[in-house]
Structure formats: structure tokens, C-alpha cells
Amino acid sequence: MRISTFSVIVAIVGVAVGLRAQDFKKQVIYQVVTDRFFDGDATNDNPAESPGLFDATHTNWHAYWGGDLAGVQQKLAYIQGMGATAIWVSPVVNNENLNCGGSVVSAPYHAYWNRDFMNVEEHFGDNSNSFAALDALVTAMHAGGMKLIVDEANNHSNPDNCGENGALYNQGAFMASAANDANGIFHHNPDIGDFNDRYQLQYLTLDDLTDLNQENSTVDAYLKGAAAQLQAHHVDAFRLDAVKHVTWGWEYSFANAVFNNAPSFLYGEWMQTNTSDPLYADSVKFANRSGISLLDFPLNTAIRDVFGYGNGFQEIDSTIGTENASFTSPNDLVTFFDSQDESRLLTLNNNQNRLQEALAFLLTCRGIPIVFYGDEQYLFNNSTGSDGNPGTDPYNRVWMSAFDTTTAAYKIITKLAGLRQANDAVGYGTWKQRWISSDVYIYERQFFNDVVLVAINKSDTASYPVTGLYTALPVGNYTDYLGGLQSGSALTVTAGSGGNNPAGNFTIAPHSVAVWQVQANATAPEVGSIGPWVGQPGMTVTIAGDGFGVVKGTVLFGSTAAAIQSWSNTSVTFTVPSVSSGSYNVQLKNSVGAAANTIAFTVLTGKLVPVTFTVNNATPTQPGDYIFVTGNTVELGSWGTTFQTAVGPMLTPNYPNWFLNVSLPAGQTVQFKFIDIQGNGNVVWENGTNHSYTVPASGTGAVNVNWQY
Ligand code: NOJ
Ligand code: NOJ
């Protein structure tokens, strides 16, 4: 009796620690297209609310096929057995009910055509749109220490030209549709034509999807309320759909609202091809300042080019180098090579070794890896997708027809997901290229004395001599952590200096991956993570790492100590103290005062409220010039005058008037001015005294002023 009581308490404490959702760097995410995964409940296959959209034969790829939340729950052992610690499911909320096709049904099985963000889709849950199936899934996942990530599409409702024509509801109460919108719930603009135009991206329509007006206070409250409701149902994190198309400034306030509700992690879909994208700098600024991490699209392109199309490893290496220099927290970028929006890697190159090598790379790379459902079963379909290419949408959304736990891919994922838990270098470590050629890539991850060295040869036929390899691994003999699953061999390290030990001359076998690693006990506190990395006094934040000790120490913002909520050897949760806003290097010290490495955090002035700034008749600009706003709080860039520090660029659909939505501290009076940052970096200030504005305590705000000459 005593023993069982004790083990119940231990289990509960274990779950509570596991629930600190901010630290996602040790997670391995399994992405499920809910409709295509597993039919766990036949009673919701053809529901009364939206009949006739189901195809039991799985031949119409645009119909519902029966997968549901109960199905994900029934396959948790399979997913967890693979080492995944988090599951990203399709949007769970209610989708439009009517056929968007003709005699061949087209239905929102993908779940991105929402009609009511306040209840659950009947094909995924039950006929009363209740949260029961979601609650059951979350409860089962948390009992096993797993986290649920829900996809959230804040950009739009459903198509404006078929089915329900954009109709949006709040718990069943009609709000508006594309053609019936007295209250400005939607923007009513044409489809985006120029995907490099900041105004079009945010305010025009994405692929006929009725575009929500987030600056409308009703929409603002509705979208934040929908996220809050999912958090109240214990959803741990959100994948944010199409963040490039939602009003950027408003999203800062959305993130702030989510982080204030409960510990969470957010990552957004900012689609771009590579780091030369014209808006790459905008994506960096967005992630660094909003606290919303991003899906790593540039690396997605590079991995597909290298493992799918046969480009050299230099493309991956230079992409990571550029991104690591841009992003505040590259270890929080969410990495992937397959998704619901592109053909599978096996379509690009039907070579299972290459897929396994790509998986091994992804799981040891910096960033939080996503395994797309079915890759571990080598599933793909090469029919021609809607963009005219083989294997693309909808043929990448295959039916999960096998759950074999003995495939090589499943075993490699299991091994390396386990390494992410066991060795902090994978989740928290630095990134260093140690040896590179077109076919061979050897890279090292290091977190203090934890080291992981990975060597990949992606050639099917050629072995290569590796000479002059150095590593931070200590002197010794290392066996392949994968146990030869991908033909890896052993490594001998001899004595060198300065963290560079010679690792001999050896031959690396064709299509091989070897992983050599060492785990060291922390002898002093080592900080690897902070989450979120931006927030106002009062917000709950978690620092993770190792060697903190079990006795409570301190977390300092300058000389001010934060109130500690919980303290363990690897994770400390605290409340951001009442310090003045700005950038801090947060300092953790253990109970005897030993200091860890510091980690960056931005303290906001207050909770964020979205405010739309308009400046009329601004100074004339030349192409390449943009108007920005800058002001006296960290939210307004602390009087910064560069692209990354001032707020903007502002948008000018009615030149020479410019506008921009900016999230500002609730209830505070702020000072600001508009500036013209010219193409060459020169800055032209407007004249006169500072403008002043008092931000509303809640809701949304607007400022409209003339440029001062
Ligand atoms: C991106 C999603 O990944 C895609 O599948 C969806 O169709 C669009 N956003 C629109 O929601
Ligand atoms: C409008 C453009 O968007 C802006 O960038 C430019 O500075 C002005 N036109 C003047 O050419």
C-alpha cells in the first residue's frame, strides 16, 4: 500500500516536470495528418453534420478517409516506441461542412478550412463537436510524458468561392462570410500576386482562403480565445499555419497571450526557399523578436537537394552557417525534410539508404526534428499532384498502411531520439563542421563536455579516405552509437590540444552513418535553453540544462533575482521579475553561488496589445527606402534606426501614407517618431517633438498622425 502510494506520487511529479512545455529542444516531433493516420472511431467516419465527404475506399484523395484523434491515441505505443516525445496533429477545430468539389468530393480532410475555431471537427472527434476525444488523447499522452502540438490556422477561415464561402462561427453562432460581413471580420482583397510584397502577403488573400482581419477587435479576441481554450484543454504547443500571411505585428501579441496563458512553445510556417530569399531578414526579425520559432524551410530545401537530388553537403553546411548567425536560438528552429506540402523524399529519390541517412542527419542536426508520419515505413505515392509534379499534394498525404516497428528507419529514429534525451549536445549543443566533401559530412555537436560526432557518407557505391579529422571527443575508442544500423564503424581518438584531438585516418564506407558520443557529468551549472525568450514581468519562463543541483539557487536579471517556481538539477521555472524592459543576459547560479553561462532574454514593458500605426503624407521615398517607426520602449525598438532594430518596414498601399500593426505594452504611454531608412542605410527623421500615445489596456488600438515636416 505504502509502496503503491509512493509510486503514484513519483509518477505525478514526473508528469508535472514533463509538462513544462517551454523547453522543446529535447523533443522529437512526429507529424500526423490526422485524417490519414488511423481510424480509431468508426462512428465519426460519415457524421450527420457533414455527410457524404467520406471515402471508405481511400481512392478519392480529396475526401475524408477516416483517421481521427482516437486513432492517434490508439497508436501512441507505436509512436512513443519510435522515441517521438511530441505529436503535431492537423488543426483540430471544426472545418467547413459542404463539398468544395463537384461530383468528385473535395473536403477539408487536411483540416485547414476552418468554420468554427471554438469546437472540434466532427470527423476527428464526435458528432457533438465536443472536446472529449482531444481530452482523452492529451490525457493519454501526458500520462506517458508526451506533448501534443496542435496546428492553428490564424490566417483564414475556408475558401471564399465554394462550400460555405468563408462562413465563420463562434460556438455555432454565425459571425461573417466572404459575402456577408457587416463588421469587417475579413479583408476582402484579391489573391496574393507578388509573394515578395510585404503588404500583399499580410493583407491579400492566400489561395482563395477568406482572409481574417486580425486588427478587428472581435477577430483578435476570437483567435486568442480559441488558442486559450485549447490551452485550457492542456494542449502543450502550437504549430502556427502561414505566419507569413497573418498580420506580423499582431502575431507578437498572439504569442504573448499564449505564453501568458500557460507554458507553451510556438513555431510558425514561414515558407521560403533559402537564406537568399528577399524576405529572409524579415523572417529572422520575426522569430527573434516575437518569440515564435520557425519551421526551418531553408534547411528543408538544402536537405532535399542533398539527400534527394544529389547536391553536395556544402549546401547544408552553408545554410546552417548562415542561419546560426542570424537566429537568436537556432536550436529552437524546427527541422524537417518531408511535410504535407511537398513530395516525399522517396519520390525525389527512391533510395531507402538515402532516407535513413537523411533521418539520421535530421535527428542529430541542430534544431527540433520532425519525422513526417509514414517515412519510417517508406511510404510514398508518385501520382501527379495538383501542382503537376509527382508525389505532391494530395499524394504526399498517404494512408498510414503499416505500423512495422522493425524497419531500419524506425530503429534509427528510436536510437537517435533516445540520444537526444541522453546527451545534451544534441538538443543544446553548438554546431561545428569537422570534415566535408560532396558526399561526406562530418559534424560535431558540443554542450560543455558532452560531445556527439556524426559522420555520413551518402554515396551508394564509393568509399572515401578521411584524413586529418579532429574532434572534441576525449582520447579513447568509440563504437558506433547506431550499432551498425547504417554501416557505421568505430573511431579511435588520440591526444591533441585545444579541444582538437586527432581522430585518425580511416575509410568511410558507402551509404553509412556513424555516431560517436560521450556524455559527461556536469561539474558546474550549464545552461542550454530558455523558453520563451521574450516576455514581460510576471511571465513564467523555464531555463533548462544540467548541473543546477537539487537545492534551489538563483536566477538573476541584472542584480534582480527572479521568484523561483520550481528547481531541479536540469530545469528551473521562474517568474520574470519587475525589471525595466530591455535585453538581459540572464544568469543562473546554483545554491552555493557557482555561475552558469548566461542566456539572452528580452523583457517587454508589459503584456502586448496590437496597435495599427498610420503616418500620412510621409517624406518622399526612393525605391529601396522604407518608413519605419521607432520609439522609447523595447517594443518600439528603443529608438533603433536599423532594419533589425526599428519597427517595420511599414506598408504603403496608399503611398505616401504608410501603416503598420505593432504590438505594444498594454496601458503604457509611449513616445515615437517615424523615420525613413534609405536603401544605403542613411536615416531621415521626421521633425518636431515625439508623438505620444497611450496604449489601451486590452483589445486593439490605432494611431493616425501626419508626418511632421
Ligand atoms: C500551409 C499548410 O501547411 C497547408 O497544408 C495549407 O493548405 C495552407 N497553409 C493553408 O492553410
Ligand atoms: C512605393 C514603394 O513601395 C516604396 O518602396 C517606394 O519608396 C515609393 N513607392 C517611392 O518609389
pLDDT at position 681 over 50: yes
Q: Which residue has the least CA distance to atom 1 on ligand 2?
A: 655
Sequence letter at residue 570? T
Look at residue 20 in the predicted model and tell me its pLDDT.
Answer: 55
Helix/strand/coil (H, E, C) string of 355-407? HHHHHHHHHHCCCEEEEECCHHHCCCCCCECCCCCECCCCCCCCCCCCCCCCC
578 C-alpha to center of ligand 1: Å? 40
For 150-200, write each residue's pLDDT tens digit.
Answer: 999 999 999 999 999 999 999 999 999 999 999 999 999 999 999 999 999
What percent of the chain is modeled with pLDDT above 90? 97
Q: How sure is the predictor about 701, in pLDDT bands with cuts at 50, 70 and 90? A: very high
For 441-498, write each residue's pLDDT tens digit.
Answer: 999 999 999 999 999 999 999 999 999 999 999 999 999 999 999 999 999 999 999 9
Look at residue 86 in the predicted model and tell me its pLDDT.
Answer: 98
Q: Which residues contact 682 (CB under 8 A, 6 or more apart)?
A: none
pLDDT at position 13 over 50: no
Look at residue 21 in the predicted model and tell me its pLDDT.
Answer: 59
46 C-alpha to center of ligand 2: Å? 53
Peptide linkage before 532 cis (omega within 30 of 0): yes
131 C-alpha to center of ligand 1: Å? 23
Q: Look up residue 380 and give its three cell numbers.
A: 510514398
From 236, 269, 450, 635, active-site residue: 269
For 610-620, write each residue's pLDDT tens digit.
Answer: 999 999 999 99
**What is the rounded distance in angstroms from the CA atom of residue 601 to the CA atom of residue 588?**
13
Identify the residue whose cell numbers are 521579475. 577
Question: In 10 A of CB 497, how many CB atoms?
Answer: 6
Residue 172's H or E segment, with its range, is none
Is there a catalytic annotation at residue 215? Answer: no
Residue 196 CB less than 6 A away from ligand 2: no
Residue 288 CB less than 6 A away from ligand 2: no
Mean pLDDT across 508-514 = 98
Going from the N-terminus, what domains does the chain have, and what CATH number goes with each? 1-11+28-269 (3.20.20.80), 295-422 (3.20.20.80), 428-518 (2.60.40.1180), 526-601 (2.60.40.10), 608-706 (2.60.40.10)
From 203, 652, 674, 682, the mutation candidate for ligand 2 (largest count of ligand atoms within 8 A of CB) is 652
pLDDT at position 17 over 90: no
153 C-alpha to center of ligand 1: Å? 8
For 692-708, the DSSP string reads EEEPPSSS-EEEEEE--
From 36, 110, 267, the mutation candidate for ligand 1 (largest count of ligand atoms within 8 A of CB) is 110
**What is the rounded distance in angstroms from the CA atom of residue 413 to the CA atom of residue 406?**
11
Mean pLDDT across 649-673 = 98
Q: Which residue has the least CA distance to atom 6 on ligand 1?
A: 112
Q: Which residue has the least CA distance to atom 3 on ligand 1?
A: 341
623 C-alpha to center of ligand 2: Å? 5
From 215, 241, 277, 635, active-site residue: 241
Q: Look up residue 27 and give its three cell numbers.
A: 523533443
Residue 175's H or E segment, with its range, is strand 173-176
Q: Which residue has the least CA distance to atom 4 on ligand 1?
A: 341
Mean pLDDT across 394-423 = 98
CA distances from 656 to 196, 299, 652 (A): 20, 38, 7
Q: Which residues contact 630 (CB under 8 A, 6 or more apart)?
A: 636, 637, 639, 640, 641, 645, 646, 647, 672, 673, 674, 675
For 301-315, write each residue's pLDDT tens digit.
Answer: 999 999 999 999 999
| End-to-end CA gap in the chain | 81
pLDDT at position 10 over 80: no
pLDDT at position 375 over 70: yes
Closest approach atom of ligand 2 to CA 620: 10
- Ligand sitting nearest the alpha carbon of 623: 2
Is there a catalytic annotation at residue 45? Answer: no
Q: Are 600 and 690 in contact (CB under 8 A)?
A: no
- Mean pLDDT, the chain, whole residue set: 96
Q: Are 177 and 165 in contact (CB under 8 A)?
A: yes
Residue 625 CB less than 6 A away from ligand 2: yes
Look at residue 22 in the predicted model and tell me its pLDDT.
Answer: 75
Instruction: Say which DSSP state 647 is in.
Output: B
Query: Is 592 in a helix, a strand, or coil?
Result: coil
For 581-639, write each residue's pLDDT tens digit.
Answer: 999 999 999 999 999 999 999 999 999 999 999 999 999 999 999 999 999 999 999 99
From 341, 372, 397, the mutation candidate for ligand 1 (largest count of ligand atoms within 8 A of CB) is 341
Look at residue 504 in the predicted model and tell me its pLDDT.
Answer: 82
Find the helix packing angle between 248-261 and 217-232, rounded to 10°.
Answer: 30
Q: Which residue has the least CA distance to atom 10 on ligand 1?
A: 112
Residue 242 CB less than 6 A away from ligand 1: yes
- Ligand sitting nearest the alpha carbon of 211: 1
Q: Which residue has the least CA distance to atom 2 on ligand 1?
A: 241
pLDDT at position 4 over 60: no
pLDDT at position 249 over 70: yes
Question: In 10 A of CB 517, how many CB atoms?
Answer: 21
Q: Which residue has the least CA distance to atom 11 on ligand 1?
A: 112
Q: Look up residue 500 and give its three cell numbers.
A: 582538437
pLDDT at position 2 over 90: no
**What is the rounded distance in angstroms from the CA atom of residue 599 to the CA atom of residue 377?**
40
**What is the rounded distance in angstroms from the CA atom of residue 508 to the CA atom of residue 564?**
49
Mean pLDDT across 297-304 = 99
Q: Which residue has the least CA distance to atom 5 on ligand 2?
A: 623
628 C-alpha to center of ligand 2: Å? 13
Look at residue 23 in the predicted model and tell me its pLDDT.
Answer: 82
Query: Is 422 in a helix, a strand, or coil?
Result: helix
Residue 621 CB less than 6 A away from ligand 2: yes
**What is the rounded distance in angstroms from the CA atom of residue 16 to the CA atom of residue 573?**
12
Look at residue 160 in the predicted model and tell me its pLDDT.
Answer: 98
Query: With a threshold of 0.85, does the pTM exceed it?
Result: yes
Look at residue 3 in the predicted model and tell me its pLDDT.
Answer: 36
